[in-house]
Amino acid sequence: MCYEWHMRVHIALDEEVVAELDRRVGPRRRSAFIAELIRRGLDDESRWDDIEAAVGQLDDRGHDWDADPAGWVRAQRHGDGRRAG
């Protein structure tokens, strides 16, 4: 058996926000809509935490194209025998 626990929270919203919410999803779908938005927001925050934790983890040793990006692109194009032009 799987039990799903729900907890009630109290949030305050401006009248205009509630009116727009009701217009978009209806008064009986408010909670589900808000819960889904919060899930998405928390997922985004978690992703940003991962990105910020990864910053600086890779060494920046430079790239073959740093000195002359256009020249590097030209060399790549000419070095590929499958290219027609």
Q: What is the mean pLDDT of each run of 10 residues along the chain (85 residues)?
A: 83 97 96 96 97 88 88 85 69
- What pLDDT sits at residue 54? 92
Domain ranges of the chain: 12-56
Q: Would you say 46 and 53 are in contact if contact means Cβ atoms under 8 Å apart?
A: no
Cα 15 to chain centroid distance, Å, stands at: 29
Model-wide pTM > 0.85: no
Q: Rounded distance, CA 3 to CA 32, Å?
A: 18
